[in-house]
Amino acid sequence: MTAAIHAGESVDRTTGALAAPIYQTATFAFESAQAKEDAVDASMEGSPDAYFYSRTSNPTNRVLEEKVAALEGAEDALACASGMGAISAVLFSQLTAGDHLVLSDNLFVITEILINQTLRPLGIEVTPVDISDLEAIRAAIRPNTRMIFTESITNPYMRFADLSAIAEISRDAGAKFVVDNTFFTPSLLKPLAFGADIVVHSATKYLSGHGDTVSGIVAGSAADMGLARIQMDALGAAASPFNSWLVARGVRTLPLRMRQHSANGHAIAEVLRDHPEVDWVRYPGLDTDAAHDVASKYMPNGFGGMISFRMTKGKPAMATFCESLELAGVAVSLGDLHTLAYPMPKRDFMVRLSVGCEDPDDLIADVTQALDKVAAL
C-alpha cells in the first residue's frame, strides 16, 4: 500500500502542490540553445526525465512510470497511449526479421492480430503454444528464439503461466520473457520477481481501475525501457499526461481494490461452480480449477476478479444471463470498479466476468437471479 501511495510522488518544486500536477504541455522551453541541445541529447541517450517534447517524455507520465516501476520491482517503466501501445513498443524494440517468438496460443485478440498480421509479414517467426504446457514450450524453442510472450493468465481461457519454469526455459534459450500482467497487477503477482524480463499492462484496466481512460505501461530494466521508449516515440504511442494522471490516481488505491476484486471474484466463482446450469468455470482461486495448484505457489494475496465460464444451454443462456444482470454492464474491457459481463458468441458462447468492487452480497444475489432466469429457459 505504501509504495502505491508514495512511489513516484514528490511535492511540486515550484508551487508546493502535494498532488502531482498535470503537465499538459506539448513542449518545454529552455534558457539557452545549449540547454535545449543538452536535454535532447540526454533524452536520446535514455534519460527519461530530460524533458523536451511530450511524445518522448513528460513529468506527469513520469509519476506513473516511477509508481508502476516500484510496484513491479522494476528498474524503470514507460507509460504509453494504451496497452496495445505498450505491447507494440516492446515487440518492435526487441524483435527483428529472422527472430523467433514463442507465443501463448491464447491471448487478447488484438495482441494476436498485431503479431500475426504485422510482425509475421515483417519476417518474425512465431510458434503458438499452450502456455500451461512446459514441454510444449521447451519443444518450441529454436536457435533464433528471442522472446517468449504470454499473459500471466490468458484472456479469456484463463491458462496460468508457471512463471519461474518458463523464465528458466527462456534464460537457457537466451530469450526475453515478456508477461502481460493486466489481469493480476503487481498487487497480486509480480512476474519480474519470478524471472520475467519485461512486464506489460493495459493500464486501462485494473491499474486505472475506474473505467475512465485508455492507457498502457511497460516495466523492466532501464536498458529495455530505453529501447522501448525509442519505439514508443517512433510509433507515436505516447501517453497523454491527463490519462497518466488518472491512472496514477487509480494506482494509489490498487491494493485496496484488488483485495475486494479477489474476494468478490472468489465468491462469484463458487456460486457459478455450484450451479447446475454452469457447464464449466475457470477461476484459479477455486481448488477445483486446473490452474489452482500452480497459481497458489505465486499468489498469496488472492486471485483477482476475472472469471470465464460456460452454461450448458450455450447461446440462449449466454444472452439471457448477461441481459438479466442488473449490476453488471454488458461490455468489453475489464478491471473496472463496476462489474462487467462480456458475452463471447465466437468462443462457444462462454461468458467472461470482470467482477467489480460492489458489495459481495449484492453481486451474489444478482448473479443468482440471472442464473435462475437461465434455469427457466
Ligand X SMILES: Cc1ncc(COP(=O)(O)O)c(C=O)c1O
Indicate the burial class of 348 (C-beta count within 10 angstroms; 0-12, 13-18, 19 or more).
Answer: exposed
* Minimum distance from residue 214 beta carbon to ligand X (Å): 5
**C-alpha cell of 25?**
504541455
Q: What does the chain come to in residues?
A: 377
- Does 202 help bind ligand X (rule: CB under 6 A)? yes
Shortest separation between residue 372's beta carbon and ligand X, angstroms: 30
CB of 201 to ligand X, least distance (A): 7
Residues 217/317, Cβ–Cβ less than 8 Å:
no
User: Binding to ligand X by residue 84, rule CB under 6 A?
Assistant: yes
Under the binding rule (CB under 6 A), the answer on residue 336 touching ligand X is: no
CB nearer ligand X, residue 48 or residue 156: 156
Instruction: Report phi then psi at 216, rounded to 5.
Output: -145, 160
Of 126, 66, 60, the residue nearest 99 (C-alpha): 126
Indicate whether 114 belongs to the interface with ligand X (CB under 6 A): no
| Nearest distance in Å: CB 224, ligand X | 18
Nearer to ligand X, 178 or 278 (CB): 178
According to the binding rule CB under 6 A, does residue 106 interact with ligand X? no
Comparison of 48 and 83: residue with beta carbon closer to ligand X: 83
Q: Decide if residue 182 touches ligand X (CB under 6 A).
A: yes
Query: Does the footprint of ligand X cover residue 151 (CB under 6 A)?
Result: yes
In the complex, minimum distance from the CB of residue 270 to ligand X, in angstroms, rounded to a whole number: 24
57 vs 82, beta carbon nearer ligand X: 82
Strands, E, within the chain: which ranges? 76-80, 100-104, 125-129, 145-151, 176-180, 198-202, 216-220, 278-282, 306-311, 329-330, 340-344, 350-354
363 contacts 267 by C-beta, under 8 angstroms: yes
What CA–CA distance (Å, rounded) separates 377 from 369?
A: 13
Cell of 315: 447461446
Find the shortest distance in angstroms from Cβ 252 to ligand X. 20
88 forms part of the interface with ligand X (CB under 6 A): no
DSSP string of 134-158?
Answer: HHHHHHH--TTEEEEEEESB-TTT-
Shortest distance (Å) from residue 182 CB to ligand X: 4
Among 60, 82, 104, 187, binds ligand X (CB under 6 A): 82
Q: State the number of binding residues for ligand X (CB under 6 A).
A: 13
198 grid coordinates = 519485461
- Name the site residues for ligand X (rule: CB under 6 A): 82-84, 108, 111, 151, 155, 180, 182, 202, 204, 214, 216
